[in-house]
Amino acid sequence: MVSFIDDHRADYGVEPICAQLQIAPSTFYEHKARQADPERLPVRAKRDAQLSFDIQRVWEENFQVYGARKIWRQMNREDIEEARCTVEHLMQRLGIEGARRGRSCRTTISDTAAERPAVLIQRQFVAIRPNQLWVADITYVATWSGSTGSTNAGLWSRSATSRRRSWKWRIIANWKTQPWRPDSNKRVSGIPGAIHD
């Protein structure tokens, strides 16, 4: 938000932008002062910066395999006392994690270069007639033999009650598929078709 105000302050001024964003101008000026003088940072921010350095150091000294619990214990051995949840939070902020046993299953590998389809409903689940709005959900469930996909589809439909009409969400279909794995040609194999319950 501070960078947005910086980009547009020459055209509109700080106070009018802050009024539209519903934040106090003093908040913006305090952020700018903290950027110029790190001594003005809150004690918590200073402590997090020091802990982030220590967490990164312990993680790298232990071959980048320690998770939050082991890093927390190692820091306690070094007389750096902090809550384990704080260590977990700072590890997430740093983007580091410990090694995990077993394989991890990535169900979605997004292509950032691909063109995205348009968002047609903008999270407005409103329909003015039956059979107008369909919504689908794909859930992956880990099993011993691989991932299983379960697809739920629904639509917004109108149901009549005794005195009034109301819109209700109804799940109209639930398909189950077999465990699948992509074949060598990058096509999904093993799904003969949707089986309706």
Long-range Cβ contacts of 118-124 (<8 Å, 24+ apart): none
Q: In what order do the strands lie in the sheet with 195-196?
A: 134-143, 146-160, 165-176, 195-196
Residue ranges per structural domain of the chain: 2-94, 134-196
pTM over 0.85: no
Residues 109-155 have pLDDT tens digits of 788 888 887 877 777 777 788 777 777 666 666 677 665 655 555 54
> Averaging pLDDT over each range in 44-53, 104-113, 119-128, which range is the top one?
44-53
Residues 120-133 have pLDDT tens digits of 777 777 778 877 77
pLDDT band at 172 (very low <50, low <70, confident <90, very high): very low
Q: What are phi and psi of 53, to 5 degrees?
A: -60, -45
Distances (CA, A) of 112 to 104, 109, 115: 21, 9, 8
Give the residue, 6 or 169, on which the prediction is more confident: 6
